[in-house]
Chain A
Amino acid sequence: MLKDITLGQFFPGNSFIHRLDPRTKLIFLIVYIATLFTASNWISYGLMIAFLALVIAISTIPLKSIVRGMKPLVFILIFTGVLNVFFTAGETVLVSFWIFTITLEGIIRAFFMMTRILLLITGTFLLTYTTSPIALTDGLESLLSPLKKLRVPVHELSMMMCIALRFIPTLIEETDKIMSAQKARGADFETGSLMQRVRALVPILVPLFISAFRRADELATAMECRCYQGGEGRTKMKLLRFHRCDIQAFASAAVLLAAVITLHSFGL
């Protein structure tokens, strides 16, 4: 059961998208999302969809895994759609009953909103699918490093993220072990009312937390022994560097943004 948990799933590969600098991908995603919110008509949405489809094709990520990642979001999508259909004022009334009226504008708006959410999430998935967690934290640290001047602990945050990612599998394994041990002593996690099941989790969480704190303590000692003293004076084995492919990516993002803004301002 616990084996199914996947966080920040990463598909190793060597496509154009995989080779991009993590910073490029992060900036790209932000630009794409910003563009998404400027898009306001059929042509610009068509452009956005086509562009993402192209990126998916280049990345060689199987479409199936992207669709699978969408499943938990179906509810939010439908909810957004329904809300927009019923609560958008418009002139072309299609159906009208009781206090509800459905207008053509409402349906179009709902469709746009759903597409927007879908594209937003697919784009984010693509980032985590094509970037290893370490590259992602490195990229974030590098992008946020100007904030260091404002005394934001950027290095510490990225170190924490890195360690958290490192310990997820270890802690999952540990949880499995504790659950087996409790089951062997007659604990029941599967039957009973919701309250009973929640209460059954306490004997798992208590030892898990105790062991996590012990681990943290030992890890801190081990890090100190390896001369860790925060981000100051620290170097990196792998330096992030922009290559030609990054410039190409930036250029395409700029073209896309310009196209959508133009379409928007001409009201097409």
Chain B
Amino acid sequence: MSTAINVEHLSYQYPGVDDTPGTVVFENLNLTVEHGSFVAILGGNGCGKSTLAKHFNSILLPSGGKVYVCGMDTADEEKLMQIRRNVGMVFQNPDNQIVANVVEEDVAFGPENLGVASPAIRQRVDQALRQVGMYDYREHAPHLLSGGQKQRVAIAGVIAMEPKCIVLDEPTAMLDPKGRREVLETVLRLNREKGITVVLITHHMDEAAKADRVVVLHKGQVALDGTPRQVFAQVEKLHELGLRAPESTELCHALRQQRIDLQEACLNEEECAKILSEAFGKTFPGK
């Protein structure tokens, strides 16, 4: 079968103002995302992460090359609705993507636009709200919820359209640590249990470490691509690209530079504690 998202030789240049040409973001970018995978996209500011995300559901169209979503060309106008119902988007600011002033009405917005029959909408809304753990808040006003809760409502609004793929553009950037954890857990669960393909654009390395695959963009090109373990092992390379590995990986890297012999790289706190206790022959109290 086709892949969830297939980017072939993509080039994109923002439209220029007056006579000055717009910035070139991509030149000949290639990327495929398999069905059911969880891909994190990393990169410094201005590397084209968000621009790329907007290509995944025809908000932006390529200047050159092609983007295919579930086998459909995003430039094909007749498939526009089909593409958008298959690729849901969640943005950074939860306030600016909630349309209605009651949680359940907002979740119903997508299915209502698709012309789903009323009883089926009710069913989808309840199911979507349960999946993100917001069912008890269905009659609340969105502005009274916390940032993490609002973002989960936004995710429910997307999954109520029953998409095959969700693209999240820095969904946790405006949230506190608790909200970040809630949102990430929700996304992980949707990926594991429902098999929804997830593309997560993020600045937080510990979030990327939970993905199946990490893609690092740099100046509109794929600089690194692999499992989190493969990518974060290349700490020096990440530093060159202006990024950092997760804190515990950085720690191990720093220790290794001090000629302390550590066997392998680690991705999270637990692994780090284990490696350190093996290296120093001591056990460290857990969290």
Contact code string B108-131 (vs A, CB < 8 Å = 1, else 0) = 111111111110011001000000
| Chain A positions 215-235 with a Cβ under 8 Å from a chain B Cβ | 215, 218-219, 221-229, 233-235
Which residues of chain A have C-beta atoms less than 8 A from B88's C-beta?
Answer: 225-226
Which residues of chain A have C-beta atoms less than 8 A from B84's C-beta?
Answer: 224-227
Known: A170-B143, A227-B84. 15 other contacts (CB 8 A): A132-B102, A162-B100, A162-B101, A166-B98, A169-B141, A169-B143, A218-B91, A218-B93, A222-B89, A222-B91, A226-B88, A226-B158, A227-B85, A234-B113, A236-B112
The bracket for how many chain A residues form the interface is 20 to 34
Number of B interface residues, CB 8 Å? Answer: 39
Which residues of chain B have C-beta atoms less than 8 A from A229's C-beta?
Answer: 81, 113
CA distance in complex: A170, B85 (Å)? 28
**Distance between A126 CB and nearest chain B CB, rounded to angstroms:** 21
Indicate if the CB atoms of B104 and A237 lie closer than 8 Å.
yes
* Between-chain CB contacts (< 8 Å), 27 pairs: A132-B102, A134-B100, A134-B102, A162-B100, A163-B99, A166-B100, A166-B101, A166-B142, A169-B141, A218-B96, A219-B96, A219-B99, A221-B59, A222-B89, A222-B96, A223-B109, A226-B161, A227-B110, A227-B113, A229-B81, A233-B115, A235-B111, A235-B116, A236-B118, A236-B121, A237-B104, A237-B111
| Chain A positions 194-231 with a Cβ under 8 Å from a chain B Cβ | 215, 218-219, 221-229
Q: Which residue of A is nearest B98, CB measured?
A: A166
Q: Which residue of B is nearest A232, CB measured?
A: B115
Total contacts A to B, CB within 8 angstroms?
92
CA distance in complex: A165, B114 (Å)? 24
Q: Which residue of B is nearest A239, CB measured?
A: B118
Question: Within the complex, which residue of B99, B121, B122 is in contact with A223, where a contact is CB–CB below 8 Å?
Answer: B99
Q: List B residues at the A interface (Cβ < 8 Å).
A: 57, 59, 81, 84-85, 88-89, 91, 93, 95-102, 104-105, 108-118, 121-122, 125, 141-143, 157-158, 161
Indicate if the CB atoms of B116 and A215 lie closer than 8 Å.
no
| Chain A positions 113-152 with a Cβ under 8 Å from a chain B Cβ | 132-134
Question: Within the complex, which residue of A134, A227, A237 is in contact with B118, where a contact is CB–CB below 8 Å?
Answer: A237
**Distance between A171 CB and nearest chain B CB, rounded to angstroms:** 10
Contact code string A170-185 (vs B, CB < 8 Å = 1, else 0) = 1001000000000000
Q: Which residue of B is nearest A211, CB measured?
A: B96
Q: Which residue of A is nearest B95, CB measured?
A: A170
CA distance in complex: A225, B167 (Å)? 11
Indicate if the CB atoms of B125 and A235 lie closer than 8 Å.
no
**Distance between A184 CB and nearest chain B CB, rounded to angstroms:** 21
